[in-house]
């Protein structure tokens, strides 16, 4: 009851606003009325609404109290003036003496010099700023917590109205001064290769909430309970149906993500906060959206990766709950929903723009309409990047602030090969891009046509081409790209999207599926490489200053031997009757390999004693990712069946430069004589000892880098599935003898990199890079 009394004012104001919005009339007229009502209700002389337009600019759209002429004329850049500060920080700002604030910017056209105090709140929708709402008073006064909260709730209601687009589009079209909408070219990090052109769809949750203000609190609480119930049982049904049928093997990992959601979906604290927001006068939808927005704001301040993941689970759950409320709102029957979350509709040619995205979020969209994805956060090794690559959807990450720079429906060009995107491109940009698209398409078609051609050089040397995989969906690309097998199967990827440690049976079932799907082609399983940036949610590691050099991969396997033993058993059982190849990651010392090998062989012997069917052959190898191991090859090689060089990690430890740190990214070149000499030596030693050696780091899939690798003797490459075509084309156009001679000569000269020389060599010799 105390809650009801506390928020009585807020509820009354929201109801008045709803009546105004429902009354109809022109968009401008309605906005004018809205600011008038807010000013009157909050006992302020001024209420102004600023709307974000064309990037980081706020425009005065309606005011009560400032000079009417200033409307659609006064604009603030982010960070400029009090309004700009509220926008830039996305936080409320309450000032008794606004003019004393260092950011205060006086605009004579507003006539605001007579007002002392000011309260500004951001208008946020799903973490994206769409404007600022401000009130001002003549007297110097302190605004109360309740006033701030009430204005924020009103801001949230306005955000939904703005998101429906009506007000902005109508008024925007009427503004004659044609405000410049800037074209922007941004550079990020390539997460998945490709080129695409489309219109922006913001990943801000489902449809705008058309009815954010409640009639009756009890009805809304009831609706919330019903939607929670149907969301819980829909998740249960969905999980169950996957479990029973397991028909869609490709999306099995999606199921694991849903299982994780199901656990957090019952979180009491989250549900309580939604109920409280309903108490302030919001509908169930608006309350869910408000709590979601609050959590997003909190998420920005959280550094801890585990906590961020948990918060982003709530984000995804809020979207699901909104879908269930929408179904309820539309009066759809339980049967018509049949327990499934429908695909989120997006128009054809959509480019999805998100702050952050999980693999399940991506799979929720209608993929046939999805051209590309760009995200504020994200790295090439993230789950979603792996899924995007598997689905062949171009994706760029690490674009800070992108959600604020793009408006829905903006045209976007995505060129993942150089990790750039162009927002609101000029006609000239589009023309050039279309030419690139056509060339890219022709190239892809040629790769497909040539997929059965042997990957043999012009002078008759075979180069073995395999793919790296981590999801079952990757395995399906084996056929389409014509690769010879899987050179690296990252077993930790399915672990990362499980909600709990998969037991032996679950692991066996997954590895068996991989084996079945590859048929006669070889596959190399890598034991768990968890730790560092790949920590499953169910493992709580001790905090580490340098996790990439910390407790990860084989170090965890040797310290927690039951984990390694279970995986060995699952791999052995799943490969019964077939050849099994397994390698261990991050080995730094021969002794580590020997111990892992003994553990594996002990499990093999135990299963044999128990009469279980066993693999037809067994090969145990090592990932060479730590430079120290390269200095122990004479001791190591007699004991291993093969070596796979993981240049991603090897390079970061060789140069002491964190592979995920953009500050040192590009500082050292893998095509440097130093690194190539190092690789040459490893390959030479392996060849001498007759131990097969391949490269499975990202270098292998970048044509020019692969050329360098071939030049230092590499004859086996394992790449991301999308790179097979370009690497085959490279191999088929190169003379091994000539490139070997060229590269080796360059390695004698003191230089930082041979990249540009190698590029010229490729151009002079018609090598396809
Ligand atoms: C590597 O380090 O090169 C490698 C292939 O392993 P990952 O990228 O999974 O660390
Ligand atoms: Mg590695």
- 698-741 confidence digits (pLDDT tens): 899 999 999 999 999 999 999 988 889 999 999 999 999 999 99
- Give the per-residue pLDDT at 267: 75
Verify whether ligand 1 is closer than 6 Å to residue 65 (CB atom).
no
pLDDT given for residue 499 in this prediction: 57
Residue nearest to atom 6 of ligand 1 (CA): 646
Q: How far is the CA of 656 from the centre of ligand 2 (A)?
A: 14
Burial of 657 (0-12, 13-18, 19+ CB in 10 A): middle
Instruction: Kindly report the protein residue whose alpha carbon is nearest to atom 3 of ligand 1.
Output: 646
Ligand 1 atom having least distance to the Cα of 488: 5
**Residue 660 CA: which ligand is closest?**
1
How large a percentage of the chain has pLDDT more than 70? 85
CA of 623 to the centre of ligand 1 (A): 9
Q: Confidence class of residue 68 from pLDDT cuts 50, 70 and 90?
A: very high
- Other residues' Cβ atoms within 10 Å of the Cβ of residue 653: 18
Mutate to test the pocket of ligand 1, among 527, 533, 552, 649 (most ligand atoms within 8 A of CB): 649
Q: What's the pLDDT score for residue 544?
A: 85
CA of 646 to the centre of ligand 2 (A): 5
The residue that leads in pLDDT, 350 or 471, is 350
Cβ atoms of 566 and 589 within 8 Å: the answer is: no
Whether the pLDDT of residue 584 is over 90: the answer is: yes
> In terms of pLDDT, which residue wins out, 92 or 332?
92
- Report how far ligand 1's centroid is from the alpha carbon of 731 (Å): 23
**Is the shortest distance between the CB of 378 and ligand 1 below 6 Å?**
no
- Give the residue-averaged pLDDT of 379-401: 80
> Picking from 49-58, 108-117, 367-376, 597-606, which range would have the lowest pLDDT averaged per residue?
49-58
Q: Is the CB of 382 under 6 A from ligand 1?
A: no
Calculate how far, in angstroms, residue 115's C-alpha sits from the geometric centre of ligand 2: 61
pLDDT at 308 over 80: no
Q: Residue 174 has what pLDDT?
A: 44
Rounded CA separation 538/551 (Å): 16
Rounded to an integer, the average pLDDT of 551-573 is 96
User: Of the given ranges (89-98, 111-120, 197-206, 262-271), which has the lowest mean pLDDT?
Assistant: 262-271
Checking if the pLDDT of 27 tops 70, the result is yes
pLDDT band at 15 (very low <50, low <70, confident <90, very high): confident
pLDDT of 44 above 90? yes
Q: What percent of the chain has pLDDT over 90?
A: 49
Considering only residues 339 and 421, tell me which one the structure prediction assigns the higher pLDDT.
421
- CB of residue 41 inside a 6 A radius of ligand 1: no
Check if 647 has its Cβ closer than 6 Å to any atom of ligand 1.
yes
Tell me the mean pLDDT in the region 589-618: 97
The C-alpha atoms of residue 133 and residue 159 are separated, in whole angstroms, by 10
Per-residue confidence (pLDDT) for residue 456, from 0 to 100: 98
In whole angstroms, how far apart are CA 94 and each of 111, 113, 121, 134? 20, 17, 9, 10
Beta carbon of 490 within 6 Å of any ligand 1 atom: yes
Q: From the alpha carbon of 646, which atom of ligand 1 is closest?
A: 3
Taking phi first (over 0 means left), then psi (-120 to 50 degrees means alpha), and beta for anything else, what does residue 178 get? left
**Which atom of ligand 1 is the closest one to the Cα of 696?**
5
Which residue carries 């337009």 as its tokens? Answer: 53
Could you tell me if the CB of 696 is within 6 A of ligand 1? yes
- Identify the residue whose C-alpha is closest to ligand 1 atom 4: 646
pLDDT band at 335 (very low <50, low <70, confident <90, very high): very low
pLDDT at 655 over 60: yes
Q: Is the CB of 30 under 6 A from ligand 1?
A: no
Residue nearest to atom 8 of ligand 1 (CA): 648
What's the gap in Å between 653 CA and the centre of ligand 1? 12
Q: How far is the CA of 585 from the centre of ligand 2 (A)?
A: 7
How far, in Å, from the CA of 659 to the mean position of ligand 2? 10
pLDDT given for residue 164 in this prediction: 63
pLDDT at 2 over 60: no
Whether ligand 1 lies within 6 angstroms of the CB of 648 is answered as yes
Of 411 and 662, more confident = 411
Closest listed ligand to the CA of 645: 1
Residue 259 confidence (pLDDT):
66
Q: What is the pLDDT of residue 336?
A: 36
- Counting ligands in written order, the one closest to the CA of 701 is 1
Of 380, 532, 555, 625, best ligand 1 pocket probe by most atoms within 8 Å of the beta carbon: 625
Question: Which ranges of 407-491 would DSSP assign to H, the alpha helix?
Answer: 427-449, 472-475, 477-481
How many angstroms separate the CA atoms of 769 and 761, rounded?
Answer: 11
For residue 1, is pLDDT > 60?
no
Which atom of ligand 1 lies nearest, measured to the CA of 529? 9
Q: Looking at residues 150-162, what average pLDDT do you find?
A: 84
Q: Rounded mean pLDDT of 612-624?
A: 97
Q: Which of 10, 111, 19 is nearest to 65 (CA)?
A: 111
Between these two residues, 87 and 585, which has the higher pLDDT value? 585
Q: Is the pLDDT of residue 338 over 90?
A: no
Tens digit of each residue's pLDDT (9 = 90 or more) over 478-525: 888 899 999 999 998 777 656 567 889 999 999 999 999 999 999 999
pLDDT band at 248 (very low <50, low <70, confident <90, very high): very low
Cβ–ligand 1 contact at 697 (below 6 Å): yes
Q: Tell me, using a 6 A CB cutoff, whether residue 552 lines ligand 1.
A: no
For ligand 1, whether the C-beta of 279 sits within 6 Å is no
**Contact at 8 Å (CB) between 415 and 224?**
no
User: Residue 588 C-alpha to ligand 1 middle, in angstroms?
Assistant: 14
Token readout for 688 is 């001498």
Of the candidate ranges 44-48, 414-418, 496-500, 635-639, the one whose mean pLDDT is the lowest: 496-500
Is 646 a pocket residue for ligand 1 (Cβ < 6 Å)?
A: yes
Q: For position 247, what pLDDT does the model report? A: 45
User: Mean pLDDT, to the nearest integer, of 225-229?
Assistant: 91
Who contacts 382 (Cβ-Cβ below 8 Å, separation ≥6)?
Answer: 191, 397
Please check the confidence at residue 169 and state whether its pLDDT lies above 60: no
Give the residue, out of 379, 491, 697, 718, with the most ligand 1 atoms within 8 A of its beta carbon, to mutate for a pocket test.
Answer: 697
pTM of the model: 0.65
SS3 282: strand
Ligand nearest to the Cα of 528, by number: 1
What pLDDT does 246 receive? 47
Record the tokens describing residue 518, joined without a space: 């590859």
474 ligand 1 Cβ < 6 A: no
| pLDDT, average across residues 207-232 | 85
How far is ligand 2, taken at its centre, from the CA of residue 498, in Å? 21
- For residue 529, report the distance from its CA to the centre of ligand 2, in Å: 8
Cβ pair 322, 163 in contact under 8 A: no
Q: Say whether 365 sits in a helix, a strand or coil.
A: strand
586 alpha carbon to ligand 2 midpoint, in Å?
7
Q: What is the pLDDT of residue 341?
A: 43
Read off the pLDDT of residues 415-453 as tens digits, 9 standing for 90 and up. Answer: 998 889 999 898 888 888 888 888 888 988 999 999 999
670 in contact with ligand 1, CB cutoff 6 A: no
Q: Is 183 in the pocket of ligand 1 (CB under 6 A)?
A: no
User: At 632, is the pLDDT very low, low, confident or very high (cuts 50, 70, 90)?
Assistant: very high
Give the sign of the dihedral formed by CA 714, CA 475, CA 352, CA 661: negative
Distance of CA 231 to the CA centre of its chain: 24
Dist. CA 697 → ligand 1 center (Å): 5
Give yes or no for residue 530 CB within 6 A of ligand 1: no
| Predicted local distance difference test score (pLDDT) of residue 294 | 73
671 has pLDDT over 60: yes
Atom of ligand 1 nearest to the CA of 698: 3
Q: Given the CA of residue 490, which atom of ligand 1 is nearest to it?
A: 9
The larger pLDDT score, comparing residue 442 to residue 660, is at 442
- The pLDDT value recorded for residue 543 is 79
- Give the distance (Å) from ligand 1 centre to CA of residue 736: 26
**What average pLDDT does the chain have?**
85
pLDDT given for residue 562 in this prediction: 94
Kindly state if the Cβ of 660 falls inside 6 Å of ligand 1: no
Q: Which atom of ligand 1 is least distant from the CA of 492?
A: 9
Residue 97 has a pLDDT of 93
- Closest-approaching ligand to the CA atom of 651: 1
Q: Which atom of ligand 1 is nearest to the CA of 585?
A: 6
Give the lowest-confidence range in 410-414, 630-634, 680-684, 731-735.
Answer: 410-414
- Cβ(558)–Cβ(591) below 8 Å: no
Query: Mean pLDDT highest for which of 70-84, 343-357, 485-499, 530-544?
Result: 70-84
């Amino acid at each position: 009851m105390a809650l009801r009394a506390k928020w009585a004012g807020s509820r009354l104001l929201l109801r008045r606003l709803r009546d105004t919005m429902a009354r109809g009339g022109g968009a401008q007229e309605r906005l004018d009325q809205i600011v008038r009502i807010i000013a009157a209700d909050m006992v302020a002389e001024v209420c102004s609404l600023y709307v974000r337009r064309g990037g980081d600019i706020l425009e005065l759209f309606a005011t009560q109290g400032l000079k009417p002429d200033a409307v659609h004329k006064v604009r603030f850049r982010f960070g400029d003036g009090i309004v700009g500060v509220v926008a830039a920080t996305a936080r409320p700002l309450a000032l008794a003496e606004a003019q004393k604030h260092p950011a205060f910017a006086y605009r004579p056209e507003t006539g605001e010099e007579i007002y002392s105090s000011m309260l500004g709140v951001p208008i946020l929708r799903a973490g994206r700023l769409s404007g600022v709402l401000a009130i001002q008073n003549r007297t110097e006064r302190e605004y109360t917590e309740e006033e701030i909260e009430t204005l924020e709730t009103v801001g949230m209601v306005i955000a939904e109205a703005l998101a429906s687009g009506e007000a902005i589009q109508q008024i925007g079209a009427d503004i004659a001064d044609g405000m410049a909408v800037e074209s922007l070219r941004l550079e990020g990090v390539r997460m998945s290769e490709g080129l695409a052109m489309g219109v922006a769809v913001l990943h801000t949750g489902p449809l705008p909430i058309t009815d954010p203000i409640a009639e009756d609190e009890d009805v809304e609480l009831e609706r919330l309970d019903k939607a929670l119930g149907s969301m819980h049982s829909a998740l249960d049904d969905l999980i169950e149906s996957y479990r029973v049928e397991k028909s869609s093997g490709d999306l099995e990992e999606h199921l694991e993500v849903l299982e994780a959601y199901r656990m957090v979906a019952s979180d009491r604290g989250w549900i309580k906060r939604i109920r409280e927001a309903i108490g302030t006068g919001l509908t169930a939808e608006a309350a869910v959206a408000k709590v979601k927005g609050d959590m997003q704001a909190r998420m920005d301040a959280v550094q801890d990766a585990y906590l961020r993941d948990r918060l982003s689970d709530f984000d995804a759950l809020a979207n699901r709950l909104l879908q269930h409320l929408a179904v309820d709102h539309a009066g759809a029957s339980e049967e018509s929903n049949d327990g499934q979350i429908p695909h989120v509709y997006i128009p054809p040619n959509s480019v999805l723009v998100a702050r952050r995205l999980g693999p399940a979020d991506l799979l929720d969209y209608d993929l046939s309409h999805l051209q590309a994805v760009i995200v504020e956060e994200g790295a090439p090794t993230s789950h979603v990047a792996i899924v995007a690559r598997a689905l062949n959807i171009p994706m760029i990450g690490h674009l800070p602030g992108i959600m604020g720079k793009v408006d829905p429906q903006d045209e976007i060009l995505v060129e993942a090969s150089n990790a750039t995107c162009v927002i609101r491109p000029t006609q000239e940009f589009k023309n050039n891009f279309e030419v690139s698209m056509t060339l890219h398409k022709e190239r892809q078609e040629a790769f497909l046509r040539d997929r059965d051609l042997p990957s043999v050089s012009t002078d008759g040397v075979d180069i073995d081409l395999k793919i790296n995989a981590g999801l079952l969906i990757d395995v399906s690309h084996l056929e389409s790209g014509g690769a010879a097998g899987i050179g690296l199967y990252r077993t930790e990827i399915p672990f990362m999207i499980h909600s709990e440690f998969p037991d032996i049976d679950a692991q066996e079932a997954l590895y068996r599926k991989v084996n079945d799907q590859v048929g006669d082609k070889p596959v190399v399983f890598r034991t768990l490489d968890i730790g560092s940036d790949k920590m499953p949610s169910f493992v709580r590691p001790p905090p580490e200053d340098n996790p990439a050099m910390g407790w990860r991969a084989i170090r965890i396997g040797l310290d927690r031997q039951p984990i390694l033993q279970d995986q060995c058993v699952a791999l052995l059982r799943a490969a019964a009757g077939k050849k099994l190849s397994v390698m261990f990651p991050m080995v730094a010392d021969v002794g580590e390999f020997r111990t892992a090998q003994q553990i594996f062989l002990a499990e093999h012997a135990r299963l044999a004693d128990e009469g279980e069917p066993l693999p037809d052959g067994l090969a145990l190898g090592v990932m060479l990712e730590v430079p120290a191991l390269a200095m122990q090859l004479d001791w190591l090689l007699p004991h291993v069946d093969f070596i796979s060089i993981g240049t991603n990690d090897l390079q970061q430890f060789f140069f002491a430069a964190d592979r995920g740190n953009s500050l040192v990214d590009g500082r050292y070149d893998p095509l440097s004589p130093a690194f190539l000499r190092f690789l040459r030596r490893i390959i030479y030693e392996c060849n001498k000892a007759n131990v097969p050696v391949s490269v499975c780091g990202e270098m292998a899939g970048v044509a020019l880098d692969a050329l360098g690798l071939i030049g230092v003797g590499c004859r086996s490459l394992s790449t991301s599935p999308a790179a097979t075509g370009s690497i085959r084309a490279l191999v088929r156009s190169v003379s091994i003898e000539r490139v070997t001679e060229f590269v080796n000569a360059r390695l004698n000269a003191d230089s930082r990199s041979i990249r540009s020389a190698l590029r010229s060599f490729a151009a002079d010799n018609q090598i396809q890079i």
